[in-house]
Amino acid sequence: MTAPTITAPQLALARTAAEAALAVLPTSRTLATADPVRAGADLLTEGQAVTAKFSGAATGEVVVVVGQDLADALKESPLGELDLTAAVRPALEAAARAFGPVVLDPGVVMEPGVALSAIAAKDDAVAVPLVEGEQVHAVLALALTPWPSDDALPGPGNLAPREADRLPVRGGLDMLHDVEMEVSAELGRTRMSVRELLSLSPGAIVELDRAAGSPADLLVNGRLIARGEVVVVDENFGIRITQIVAPGTERE
């Protein structure tokens, strides 16, 4: 059975979507879009993939595959392990919006071969490798049902072809500014036996391992990043930062 022919306008639209995604993809590498190709499982075999369906002005599915280096960087961030779906979602949204106003489903993390195989099974699925030199470090794949007609181009407010080249390129942690993190403050700690815990009652005092007036700890996703003094802001407690804790010195 002969595979459906992918038209030149489809390839152009896929590249436009990939350029929009690349502008907000969290990576410290300087990547560029390569020529669009038919989607296949062997385009990038190592790393992680996030796939999501969308509907609205267009209906389809988008997959972003990031290489193992980026997946590892997100796990080993100075702010702790970051959620891959949240980090890649802006790129998924940017790619889908290239076809007009759409609603994107929550993304699902998959192995790259599985995600690319699933979308390659759809008619007219197109993939755009994101490369540094000749090396593929990420892939964006799309399948629309149906693709816009041959004379349909991104409308006003969407990225026109090659416009993404004029967008400022950001890299590293700058791309993660919109990822939500859990921030908590800790006054101190102590260890108690089960007997002591069961004996607690209203009015009981628990002594912590920190002297009065000592700085409180500020933690992001459970990792110590700063210390400061407790203050009151509009009847709420807050922390005035007095020290930023460098990675690797948390126990000092």
Q: Are 104 and 90 in contact (CB under 8 A)?
A: no
In 3D, which of 1, 4, 2, 3 has the Cα closest to residue 147?
Answer: 4
Count: domains in the chain: 2
Encode pLDDT of 124-178 as tens digits. 899 999 998 888 889 999 999 888 765 544 443 444 443 434 344 444 445 556 6
pLDDT tier for residue 46 given thresholds of 50, 70 and 90: confident
112/59 same-domain check: yes
What's 101's domain CATH number? 3.40.1550.10
Q: Is residue 251 part of a domain?
A: no
In 3D, which of 228, 181, 125, 169 has the Cα closest to residue 31?
Answer: 169
Element (H, E) at 136: strand 135-144
Q: Where in the sequence is the domain holding 202, given as residue range(s)?
A: 183-244
18/116 same-domain check: yes
165/220 same-domain check: no
Q: Report the alpha-carbon distance of residue 79 to residue 115 in Å, rounded.
A: 28
Q: Residues 82-100: what's their mean pLDDT?
A: 86
Domain boundary among 134, 155, 176: 176
Greatest alpha-carbon span in the chain: 78
66/187 same-domain check: no
Q: Is residue 34 part of a domain?
A: yes
Q: Is residue 90 part of a domain?
A: yes
161/73 same-domain check: yes
In 3D, which of 205, 28, 29, 18 has the Cα closest to residue 97?
Answer: 18
55/126 same-domain check: yes
